[in-house]
Amino acid sequence: MIMIVGNNIKTHMESVQAIKQRFGIIGNDVKLNRAIEKAIQVAPTDISVLITGESGVGKEALPKIIHSLSHRKHGKFIAVNCGAIPEGTIDSELFGHEKGAFTGATQTRSGYFEEADGGTVFLDEVGELPLTTQVRLLRVLENGEFLKVGSSKTQKTDVRIVAATNINMFEAIKKEKFREDLYYRLSTVEIYLPPLRERKDDIHLLFRKFASDFAQKYKMPTIRLEEAAIQLLLKYRWAGNVRQLRNIAEQVSVLEQNRTISYDTLKSYLPDAGSNLPAVIKHTKSDSDFSSEREILYKILFDMKSDLNDLKKLTMELMKDDSNGEKVQKENKTLINKIYGEESEIDYANTEDEDVMEILQVEHQKSLPEPPQEKEDKYHFAEEIQEEETLSLQDKELELIKKALERNKGKRKAAASELGISERTLYRKIKQYDL
Architecture of the domain whose range is 197-267: Orthogonal Bundle (1.10)
Residue 145 has phi, psi (to 5 degrees) of -110, 150
CA distance 29 to 27: 6
pLDDT reported for residue 413: 82
Task: Give 95-139 as a DSSP string.
Answer: HEE-TTSSTT--S-EE-HHHHTTTSEEEEETGGG--HHHHHHHHH
CA torsion 337-343-345-349 (nearest 10°) is 50
Q: Distances in Å between the alpha carbon of 108 and those of 88, 91, 105, 132? A: 17, 14, 7, 21
Contacts of 325 (CB under 8 A, 6+ apart): none
The pTM of this model reads 0.61
pLDDT reported for residue 183: 96
Q: What mean pLDDT comes out for the span 218-239? A: 95
pLDDT reported for residue 346: 46
pLDDT reported for residue 285: 47
DSSP-derived letter for residue 149 is B
DSSP-derived letter for residue 422 is -
**Cβ atoms of residues 136 and 95 within 8 Å:** yes
Domain ranges of the chain: 18-99+109-194, 197-267, 291-367, 375-433
Regarding the domain delimited by 375-433, which CATH topology (the fold level of the hierarchy) does it fall under?
Arc Repressor Mutant, subunit A (1.10.10)
SS3 at position 81: strand
Q: Considering just the CA atoms, what is the radius of gyration of the chain in Å?
A: 40
With residues binned 3-state (H G I as helix, E B as strand, rest as coil), the percentages for the chain, rounded to 5, are 60, 10, 35
**Cβ atoms of residues 305 and 318 within 8 Å:** no
Choose between 314 and 3: higher pLDDT.
314
Task: Give 83-94 as a DSSP string.
Answer: GGS-TTTHHHHH
CA distance 127 to 174: 13
- pLDDT confidence bin for 311, thresholds 50/70/90: confident
Question: Quick check: 17 pLDDT over 80?
Answer: yes
Regarding the domain delimited by 18-99+109-194, which CATH topology (the fold level of the hierarchy) does it fall under?
Rossmann fold (3.40.50)
Question: Quick check: 44 pLDDT over 50?
Answer: yes
Q: What mean pLDDT comes out for the span 13-40? A: 90
SS3 at position 106: coil
Q: What is the mean pLDDT of the chain?
A: 80
Residue 224 has phi, psi (to 5 degrees) of -130, 145
Choose between 362 and 200: higher pLDDT.
200
